[in-house]
Structure 1
Amino acid sequence: MTTLTDRYVAATLRSVPAARRAEIATELRASIEDMIDGRSAAGEDAATAERAVLTELGDPAQLAARYADRRLQLIGPTYYLAWERLLKLLLSFVPATVGVIVGLLAATDGENVGGAVGEGISTALTVAVQIAFWVTLVFAVLERTNTPLDLPAWNVDQLPEGPVDRQITLTDTAAAIGFLALFIAYLPLQHFRSFVPADGEGNLPILDPALWSFWLPSLIAVLVATVGLEIAKYRAGRWTWPLVAVNGLLNLAFAVPVIWLMSTDRLLNPDLVARFDWLGEGRNLDTVAAVVVVSTILIVLWDTVDSVVKAYRARR
């Protein structure tokens, strides 16, 4: 008749290397018998003592993992921080970048802007899932093969020099300046490489070329001033009320012209509007203008309110 001990030992041996099964079986049986004898000497009957000992030893699969020195976590502490930092870095910009590019290409190649937006979002989500899967898989393999990463060891010189409660970090500032730089570069770039083909050779600018006489240089100047604001915020280390005021003025200096130009059909290139038949159908152009206006207002409001809240917290 098979005892509980026999069943427990058999369940444990299933997950250990075949070459060590005899050794582990002998060692495990001896440990179980010693523990049962100890409980029996204290007055427990043999059956109760056996059940209590096996319960104390726990899941046979977990015990087998300890015998085989096999990790039961996907990413262990040795590799976890490197995995987390790389994953956060890639997810912070790669999915969004790919999604925007795919969405723009879909919008210029087709006539369904809503479908282009959906395709961009779907692509961004797919890229995020793929990044998470492959990065995790690579680190899981490194974990189980004990491959050294040869990363530099941490030392106290890496501690930040600024105060612990710094509100504006270097990462936030670099990301904001990087986004602004791309936006500033795109304004003149779209005049030559908008990826919207003209009827002849070349590309159609997205924004009305007539805006280069005043409005586009003005908007670029506002964006350059915003870069200066980001640098000032980093040097201050936190939002202050003068910085909040400057931020509000720059937001208005950018948002008001954009809203006015879009509302009066002066922002988009007329040739671009004529290029897409769906823009001339019904109130589609008005819908696009409303989306741009509402989006601009929401972004400005969010950024302004966020700066006020952070400045208030910094004073407490």
Structure 2
Amino acid sequence: MNTLTDRYLAATLTSVPAQRRDEIAAELRGSIEDMIEDRAGNGQDPATAERDVLTELGNPERLAARYADRRLQLIGPTYYLVWARLMRLLLSFVPAIVGTVVAVIDAADGGSVGDVIGSGIGAAIEVAVQIAFWVTLAFAIAERSKTKLDLPDWTVDQLPDAPVDRQVSRTDTVAAVVTITLLLAYLPWQHFRSWVQAADGTNIPIIDPALWTSWLPALIAVLVASVAFEIVKYRVGRRTWPLFGVKVLLDLAFTLPVIWLLHTDRLLNPALVDRFDWLGNDDNLSNVATLSVVITAIVVFWDIVDSAIKTRRANA
């Protein structure tokens, strides 16, 4: 259900102590239903009665603050909720955008990786501090001078949809997308900026550059498809066997070529092997490849088994 009452309860319970949510939910729902029944008994349309009752109860954030015995006040209570909402909105994207722009400009000017990251983070922090200071100062002045901001009153139309009980969390999705994206970024990065250098200071890629004309584009395509899959899985919101099947196919499409390249000694750059003498001694290169194959297989196998268990539980 996603009625106005459900949405109002969800918006209220988000800000109350977790140990009291069930108690408050039962009490508040009962009160709302009683008030709606009273109005409906007097001939008012139930849908209209529901809107009127919730409007009279007011902003659910204020109601939650009363239940939690929490003061909505920074400088004063009049504009606290507006200040808090504006701060969340601005801090959610403005510092990140400014930091990214500064980092890109520094990178275009030839700055080192450390300088680019440092300047981007520094700019983001500075912008966040400036936003927090000036927005708070503006609201403090408005509060103390009793300035009327002529803000619209709260209405039930502002209620967000009640949250859906999801089997796929946003945290898990973000973690998976970030991990895959970092791997995607590393493939071209290691070609130009690996941690290994030749005697003359030139870069030595970790992965054989010859693979850029064969396997690497295919592996990158699989990783891009994996990112899209994680997003689709989050949008679906639940684990299904068809989604599990797609995940297995994507995992195998990436893992099997990597294992084959490792097993045939075609993954690592020959120049890298020549750079480290011990790799060419005895069976060291073969041992490294075998160990990598075993570790890769174990990780992928465990990931598939874990996904199968979660999917089975979700569909039990």
The TM-score normalised by the length of structure 2 is: 0.48
Q: Which has the higher contact order (CA 8 A, sep 6+)?
A: 2
